[in-house]
Amino acid sequence: MTIDELLKQHNLRLTKPRQQVFDVLRQSAVPLTISDIAKKCKNVDRASVYRTLVTFDQLHIVSAVAIGWKSYYELAEPFIPHHHHLYCIHCQNAEPIQTPELEQLVGYLSRKHQFAVVKHHFELEGICKNCQQTKQYKK
Known binding-site residues for Fe cation equal 82, 103, 120
Q: How far apart are CA 109 and CA 39, in angstroms?
A: 41
Binding residues for Zn(2+): 88, 91, 128, 131
**Is residue 139 packed enough to be buried (19+ CB in 10 Å), middle (13-18) or exposed (0-12)?**
exposed
Spatial separation of the C-alpha atoms in residues 36 and 93, rounded to whole Å: 14
Binding positions: 82, 88, 91, 103, 120, 128, 131
CA dist list (Å): 86 to 6, 98, 127: 30, 11, 9
Q: How far is CA 135 from the centre of its chain?
A: 31
